[in-house]
Amino acid sequence: MKLYRALQSQGFGSRKGCMAQVRAGAVAVNGTVCDDPEAEVDPAGLELTLDGVAWRYREKAYVLMHKPAGYECSHHPSHHPSVFGLLPGPLLQRGVQCVGRLDQDTTGLLLFSDDGQFIHRMISPKKGVAKVYLAQCAEPVTDAMLDALRTGVQLNDEPAPIAALACETVDPHTLRLTLAEGKYHQVKRMIAAAGNRVDALHRESVGAFALPADLSPGNWRWLEPAELHQLEQAWPSAKS
Active site residues: 103
Angle at 54 between CA 117 and CA 15, to 5 degrees: 65
**70 Cβ contact list (under 8 Å, min separation 6):** 80, 81, 104, 105
List the beta bridge partners of residue 29.
32, 48
The neighbour count for residue 222, using CB atoms within 10 Å, is 15
Q: Under a CB-based contact definition with an 8 Å cutoff, are residues 50 and 202 in contact?
A: no
HSE-CB at 14 with a 13 A cutoff on CA atoms is 2
* Whether 197 contacts 191, CB under 8 Å: yes
Residues 176, 181, 183, 189, Cα dihedral to 10° = -30
DSSP bridge partners of 53: 50
**29 phi and psi angles, rounded to 5 deg:** -110, 115
Q: Count Cβ atoms below 10 Å from residue 152 Cβ, excluding itself.
A: 15
Task: Report phi then psi at 32, rounded to 5.
Answer: -115, 125
